[in-house]
Homo-oligomer: A and B are copies of this chain.
Amino acid sequence: MSELRKDPIIDRWVIISTERGKRPNDYKDIMEEKRTQDCPLCEGKEKSTPPEIIAYREPGSRNDTPGWWVRVVPNKFPALGIEGEPLLQQHGIYQTMNGVGAHELIVESTKHEPGLDTQTEKQVEEVIWAWRDRSLDLRKDSRLKYIQIFKNTGPVAGASLEHTHSQLIATPLVPVDVIQELEGTREYSSRQGSCVFCDMIGQEIAERERIIYESSHFLSFNPFASRFPFETWILPKGHQHDFGQVEEEKVRDLAKVLRTTLRKISVMIKNIPYNMVLHTSPVNMREERHYHWHLEIMPRLTIMAGFELGTGYFINPTSPEVAAQALRETEEFYPLQDGSIKEVYRYV
């Protein structure tokens, strides 16, 4: 079983992962590591993954066979495992906790395509439903306190499988970055009497300098203090603390905004590596109603080096105003393999 270990100085936990355990010699050839040709996520390869947890599939089709369009499976090398109790233990000045949690993989397409941006809007919507369904199911487990949904695209951004997928790790603790955001929003709310994310939306819509795309329910923009070039946040315009409460109409709208945003970013810079995270309020504890769930897309064109790792500060060589203008002006321009053009939208 994996072990969670707390840094004795700050509230940062590390998962020492036995499932993913690497011996020192395993790193020697790490630079030459090749990705497997035999993709376990493609349609027809259902037996290559652990048995599916849920799948959206054609009526009558059997589990772990073709007929699905979105499939959720346990991660074959889970960072956290579902067995046991999250017991806090003291070892001298150090603390550990059993590595209790869940680690799931959401397969976003039957086809071996690298991105969510090339999926249909309907398919993106189905992926968002899978995120919500898993989020609602996992919170029934009272041992779990946070459900982190994220997506890695491209080897530089840590994707070890090319086939488009997102992941979910449920943790028995609220992670430090979420705690800091919760404290920040609570402090702002008690000082200003409003939600900092709602106020941000207000200022962004008023200034229009950093907006990429706006729909009825969502705003996609490059945040004022962007850490990364083309960092993009997607926020629901109405206040909602818990992603699990998202309504059907909003899911449909988010699919459009997310897909459009990803397409613009992917057209702007071909094969752009990025991470995406869904920040929402914790589960199985006091409701954090002042929070405001959102998506953060972090392109990985810069390297987090000594300065960033030493300070927690970032150096971003491209201002969000410049990034937003470029993304607003970018057409969703996808040539087909035969050279013809599939669709051209222009959102300027």
Contact = CB atoms under 8 A, between A and B. Distances in A.
Contacts of A270: 28
Count of identical protomers in the assembly: 2
Interface in A191-228: 196-197, 199-200, 203, 206-207, 223-227
Nearest to A321: B16
A313 to B, nearest CB: 5
A14 B16 CA distance: 30
Interface in A217-263: 223-227, 229-230
Which has the most chain B C-beta neighbours within 10 Å: A146, A158, A206, A306?
A306
Nearest to A180: B10
Contacts of A319: 16, 21
If over half of A's interface residues share one DSSP class (helix, strand or loop), that class is named, otherwise mixed; here it is mixed
A285 interface: no
A188 interface: yes
Interface stretch (A51-59, A81-89, A124-132, A147-155): A147-155
Nearest to A30: B301
A305 interface: yes
Given A14-B313, A224-B8, A316-B15, A156 B303 contact: yes
Nearest to A330: B24
26 contacts: A8-B225, A9-B181, A9-B184, A10-B184, A13-B225, A13-B313, A14-B226, A14-B314, A15-B314, A21-B318, A22-B318, A24-B268, A27-B301, A30-B301, A92-B206, A93-B203, A148-B307, A150-B306, A152-B305, A156-B303, A157-B303, A157-B305, A167-B307, A275-B305, A275-B309, A304-B304
